[in-house]
Amino acid sequence: MPAPLSALPPGFFVPAEEAPHQATFMQWPVSRRVYRDRYFLEEVQATIARIANTISAFEPVFMLADRADHRAAARQLSQAVTLWDIPTEDLWARDSGPLFVTSADGRLAISNLNFNGWGNRQVHTRDGAISQRVADRLGLENYDSALIGEPGGLDQDGHGLLIAHESSWVNRNRNTIPKAEISKRLLAAFGAERIVWSPGLAGQDITDYHIDSLARLTGPGRVLIQLPDRPDPADPFHQAALRTYDDLQAAGLSVDVIPDPVDLRVDSYDFVAAYANYYVCNGAVIAAQFGDKAADQEATRALKRHYPGREIVTLNADALGEVGGGIHCATQQMPAT
């Protein structure tokens, strides 16, 4: 495979997620080094298939998988989902999949953030090569951001603003350069103008607290954030989330709060129950529900407020929450040009 090109030229940018898409990219999880329990791997695969099949009713879905895994995957996937022969290990297309950028004159390219398995915490021999392999298949230029990280480690509004946790970027397991230089390179890689940082929380989960499970930009200067009704002073995630809320407000953003669910189907201290980890596709928002009727309904109402005119589709994606992620983490959009 050819090496990525130098930095993204001026004029390219990552569009808002709610802008029109050509397709959604997803990845088929197969690695037994990651999923040692075969039965749980089957549950995760079924969840990925359910998400892909749901999205495919609204836009094309390309599922990346090694050819040897196509037959097994196809048994669970809708005929509207197209399998591509690009080998994968895990499902996190938001982080290891291609970050697409567009230009005002209609060109499409890839901005490469050089995925390294969240600071070399996980095997990524295949997943680390996905960006270049997709670029090769599509005949697109692949530009090197000169950063190491994951697109799920920030959120963008497509109008020049990024929000991020420092813990996912200003972290020696990914980057050893100063925060100011990381900011400069991130803005260049996304074609953005401004970044709002909050400290986040390092070392408590594999992602070092990706912001897309907490807060999402839903329009220019507008944020939807998920917070506990009764924050626990001893819970580091609660305290980091409250700091993020304060920092977003201090930056002049309009911040809308939805509550964490409490009555969950899964009883596990490290289960991620993130309504904020939803995905916006053509005509719909695909979001998780967790079995807490009141909180599930409140999250749906909030999504309807922020995305009027779109269908809100909620799914049981508990298997992803058990491994620290959600629907947004499992998807990556290819914007229309």
Express each pLDDT in 89-110 by its tens digit.
999 999 999 999 999 899 999 9
Predicted local distance difference test score (pLDDT) of residue 29:
98
Read off the tokens for 93.
């297309």
30 or 104, greater pLDDT = 30
CA angle, 331 as apex, 161 and 325 as ends, to 5°?
90
pTM of the predicted model, to two decimals?
A: 0.97
At 151 the three-state DSSP class reads helix
Amino acid at 21: H
The dihedral sign for the CA sequence 97, 172, 122, 244: negative
Asked if the model's pLDDT at residue 2 lies above 70, the reply is no
**C-alpha count within 13 angstroms, C-beta hemisphere, residue 258:** 27
DSSP 157-202: -SSSEEEEEGGGTSSTTT--S-HHHHHHHHHHHHT-SEEEEE---S
For 34-52, give one letter per residue: b (16+ CB within 10 A) or e. bbeeeeebeebbebbbbbb
The DSSP symbol for 272 reads -
Phi–psi pair at 310, nearest 5 degrees: -105, 150
Predicted local distance difference test score (pLDDT) of residue 267:
87
Contact 318, 266 (CB under 8 A): yes
Contact 331, 321 (CB under 8 A): no
Q: d(Cα 35, Cα 324) in Å, to the nearest integer?
A: 13
Our separate counts of H helices and E strands in the chain read 9, 17
Express each pLDDT in 164-199 by its tens digit.
999 999 999 999 999 999 999 999 999 999 999 999
Asked if the 12-335 domain carries CATH number 2.160.10.10, the reply is no
Predicted local distance difference test score (pLDDT) of residue 4:
62
The stretch 210-234 carries a mean pLDDT of 97
Read off the tokens for 48.
């990925």
